[in-house]
Amino acid sequence: MAGSEKILVVRVGRAGDLVMVTPALDSLLAALPGAEIHLLTTAEGARVLRGFDPRLTRTWLYKRRFPRALWLRPRLRRRFLAEGYARAYVFETHPHYRRWLAGVARETFGLGPAVPGVHYAERCLLAVEGSLASPPPRGQARLPVSEAGVAKARALLAAHGIVEGTTLVGLHATFSGSLWPALRDRRGLKHRHWPRESFARLGRLLAERARAEGLPLAVVVDALPAERAFVEPLVAATGGAITLLSAPPDFERYKGLLRCLDVLVAPNTGPMHMAAAVGTRVVALFSGWDTADCGPYAEPDRVAIVSAADAPDPERGLAAITPERAADAVFRLLDAAVGGK
């Protein structure tokens, strides 16, 4: 792409953060077909957007933690200046990114002030649209899924006795930091962690209702090897209602599995966003965060929000959400999915 306009996009965050910038990336790619996009992100962000588009040609890695960040910033800034960027889009909420990156491109665009009810993905879109003479139509969050990834996922399911044609409900029981209880802050524990007993009861409720309705249904949990100790007690408590899938880490396979699911049940985590972005329906368990700001950025009829705020005891956080409410939301989405995804 020699001679093409170079654009720097900045989003330093976890998986869900990167998924939420994909509508803005798609707008840039559609509006500026000759552009070459470089991304400043974390190692996790690079993994999430690997293969997103052939015009996303370079990824710069950044670590936010002190003192590594102090050493990286001047080095990266010098390299950015050498690239000669025409535009920079800074999708960060902290103002120090704009200060650090001032002048690395001929034009720099960033997020406007947060407005209640305006989704973070929309704020990124607004930053892009304000820089374009003719903004393209908006899309939803998107992640590509390879045929090889889907084939690996189907092989993993088959190895556990789950055949094609089975209705699949996935449960995501962990979140960043859930494996290190001593390091979890109270906000993360209360608002991201749905009790394992609730997940176990949900698995039993789904299996019981499926049997009563004659629906071939499997409830699965995909756990990394490091997560098995956390997840195995949950699975054991269901008496076989949940199937534990565990295989060596393979992100393409994981995206393929998310795509194979009919519904994923998850708190506000990266997999919640990724499932919506690969086209899977999502039951999103929320507490302490505004879904209008950071809920799944997908068509509304493909998402069911189950909020602790609607429970009689919302101060308990996610624990206030009953498995019965979550099960009802799953079957509402499955009923809406009749006829295919």
Domain boundaries, the chain: 6-129, 147-336
Across 31-45, 101-115, 207-221, 325-339, least confident range: 325-339
Q: State which CATH number among 3.30.565.10, 3.40.50.2000, 1.10.10.10, 1.10.10.350 fits the domain covering 147-336.
A: 3.40.50.2000
Percent of all residues in the chain with a pLDDT value above 90, rounded to a whole number: 85
User: In terms of Cα–Cα distance, which of 212, 215, 214, 247 is closest to 228?
Assistant: 247
**Alpha-carbon distances, residue 94 vs 76, 81, 112, 277 (angstroms):** 18, 22, 11, 25
pLDDT tens-digit map of 289-334: 999 999 999 999 999 999 999 999 999 999 999 999 999 999 999 9
CATH 3.40.50.2000 fits 6-129, yes or no: yes
6-129 and 147-336 agree in CATH topology: yes
pLDDT at 186: 53
Q: Look at residue 16 in the predicted model and tell me its pLDDT.
A: 96
The Cα–Cα gap between 315 and 149 comes to 40
* pLDDT at residue 238 tops 80: yes
| Span of 84-88, 122-126, 288-292 with lowest mean pLDDT | 288-292
SS3 per-residue string spanning the chain: CCCCCEEEEECCCCHHHHHCCHHHHHHHHHHCCCCEEEEEECHHHHHHHCCCCCCEEEEEECCCCCCHHHHHHHHHHHHHHHHCEEEEEECCCCCHHHHHCCCCEEEEEECCCCCCCCCHHHHHHHHHHCCCCCCCCCCCCCCCCCHHHHHHHHHHHHHCCCCCCCEEEEECCCCCCCCCHHHCCHHHHHHHCCCHHHHHHHHHHHHHHHHHHCCCEEEEEEECHHHHHHHHHHHHCCCCCEEEEECCCCHHHHHHHHHHCCEEEEECCHHHHHHHHCCCEEEEEECCCCHHHHCCCCCHHHEEEEEHHHCCCHHHHHHHCCHHHHHHHHHHHHHHCCCCC
Please write down the HEC assignment for all residues of 295-316: CCCCCHHHEEEEEHHHCCCHHH
Q: Whole-model pTM?
A: 0.93
**What is the band of 182 on the pLDDT scale with cuts at 50, 70, 90?**
very low
Calculate mean pLDDT across residues 253-267.
Answer: 98
The residues facing 304 across adjacent strands are: 283
Question: What pLDDT, on the 0 to 100 scale, is given for residue 179?
Answer: 46
